[in-house]
Amino acid sequence: MSLAILGLGTALPVTRISQAEAMAIARAVCCRTEEQATWLPALYTHSGIDTRHVSFDRAVIDDIVRGTTDTGSVFLPKGDGDRGPTSGERQRHYAEHAGPLAVRAARQALAQSGLAAGAITHLVTVSCTGFRAPGVDVELVKRLELPATVQRTHLGFMGCHGALNGLRVARAYAEADPAARVLVCAVELCVPHYHYGWDPQRMVANALFADGAAAVVGGPGEAAPEAWRVTSNGACLFPDCEDAMTWTIGDHNFEMTLSKRVPGLIAGGLRPWIEAWLEENDLRLGDVASWAIHPGGPRILTAVEEALSLGAAETAASRAVFAECGNMSSPTVLFILDRLRGPRAPRPCVALGFGPGLAAEAALLR
């Protein structure tokens, strides 16, 4: 039993910024002294990111970089002591922009699947950067004209591996009901949670995260035997490292912490679990023909390469998506799968992501 991927769509906000522009934003928003600003080039130059997309009008970005106030946006920096917009103001931005982005990705996935919107029986939404009710799920139902009887499930606050949790839920629906046609949509607006002021740990997150959405339309494996099929899912909670990666709601944003310990924890704990999980599926590491590894950051990708003895070619798709789009949290791994499916990368493929806990999630695609 499995989940066949019948269609996959991705969507990015219109505004694209270079990493040089991102560094200029950090200088304007985070740095209070010239000495602090000298710390930025190393962080941004070695991030592995060239460009990323943000859910802000270009005029807002220009205001921040130039020090002007033409847009009057609540996201413009206000000087010493400024902590940025309140969490409520940031959530209003999410409410305005997340739905349309999710709809774009879902329309693309539906078009690729060849299914009509009325054929969708289950809807799984994934997001950790915003919450409201009625939410993105209802917006998808209305704007895509999904059936009013579609069965909705929302996965919130799972972090960067959330789309893999979404695929697990979709697979369960597809295996339970031969008539199931499932739409999974992951949408994240990470940039509105940008940290204001000088905090080196949180500025690492500022340098990495971006906005985006991705969607999958799936059904029982028998519906499309030649399609990429999710045949197994795995999960591992690394012991005694709950503080290594956190995502909490604060008064002024959702606050991300990413410890320097994370790459070492992954390097030390990943291989034994992956090998045991693959063995359950009658596979060894050497049998995996392609990898879709969520690029939490350049050091995390390097840690995975070292732990699993992977070469640069095996993580090329992950690094390419990261360079072009940054870390979009949960949709990112679906962007990488899309990159692999296009040229028909060899299978079996393992998709892998990490999130707060410290937790790892995996999906096996054949």
| Dihedral, 197, 201, 206, 211 alpha carbons, nearest 10 | -130
Where does residue 319 rank: exposed (0-12), middle (13-18), buried (19+ CB within 10 A)?
middle
Catalytic residues: 160
Q: Which residues share a beta bridge with 219?
A: 4
Q: What are phi and psi of 14, to 5 degrees?
A: -65, -40
N-term to C-term CA, the chain = 12
3-state secondary structure 329-341: CCCHHHHHHHHHH
| Nearest residue to 334 via CA among 277, 283, 281, 295 | 295
C-alpha to C-alpha distance for 325 and 336, rounded to whole angstroms: 11
- Residue 167 identity: L
Q: What share of the chain is helix, strand, coil (3-state, %, to 5)?
A: 45, 25, 35
Pairing of strands 254-258, 51-54: unpaired
Task: Kindly give the interhelix angle for 298-308 and 262-280, rounded to the nearest 10 degrees.
Answer: 40
